[in-house]
Amino acid sequence: MFAFILALAGTLLGAYGAWSSGQAAKDAADYNARVARQQAQAAREKAALEERRQRKEAERLQATARARAAASSLTVESFLPVFEESAREAELDALIIRYGGEMEAFGYASEAELEEMRGKQAKRAGIISTGKTLLGGGLKTYKAGKEAGLWGTKKD
């Protein structure tokens, strides 16, 4: 009878351990996914701030250049091609900053999706391991119960 109780308790504890291990791995993966999503949002926000800063700095430099051009003996029209090229370069710099932020955010978003898949897989693995433990332990429990005479005649 003692062997039956031990087999039953071992089976139940093993099954619970397998299930809780899978659930803990899923919870950890879900947490990692949330963190990665937050990092993606932070990367977008950082890039947006840097882009705005770049645009303001470019505007400041353009204003300074226009003021210097106006103060010189040359006409402002003679500087126009330089101003236009400078504006194009400033816009390109701002767009590069935005693109970099989006690529960083994309990497974090991909990481979040991967973590979610890992979590789902860990949960499935925990369920399968629980089933395996219950089936294997069930057989041992049955044999121990049979030996103890719980399922009909006792084996001598």
Could you tell me if residue 153 is inside a domain?
Answer: no
Q: Return the pLDDT at 155.
A: 55
Of residues 9 and 111, more confidence is placed in 111
Residue 154 domain flag: no
- Using pLDDT thresholds of 50, 70 and 90, give the confidence band for residue 88: very high
112, 11 contact by CB (below 8 A): no
Does residue 114 form part of some domain? yes
Domain-embedded: residue 70: yes
Total domain count for the chain?
Answer: 1
Distance CA 66, CA 105 (A): 37
pLDDT digits 0-9 by tens, 147-156: 888 877 655 5
- Cα distance between residue 112 and residue 131, in whole Å: 29
Structure tokens at 114: 């991967």
Looking at residue 66, what is its pLDDT?
83
Is 108 domain-assigned? yes
Q: What's the pLDDT score for residue 79? A: 82
CB of 144 within 8 A of CB of 7?
yes
pLDDT surpasses 60 at 24: yes
Q: What is the residue type of 9?
A: A
The residue ranges of DSSP E strands in 54-152, in sequence order, are none
Domain-embedded: residue 29: yes
What is the domain extent for residue 140? Answer: 2-147
Q: Are 26 and 123 in contact (CB under 8 A)?
A: yes
User: 99-137: per-residue pLDDT in tens?
Assistant: 999 999 999 999 999 999 999 999 999 999 999 998 888
pLDDT band at 22 (very low <50, low <70, confident <90, very high): very high
For residue 86, which of 110, 49, 54 has the smallest C-alpha distance?
Answer: 54
Distance CA 85, CA 64 (A): 15
Which tens digits make up the pLDDT trace of 45-76? 999 999 999 999 999 999 998 888 888 877 76
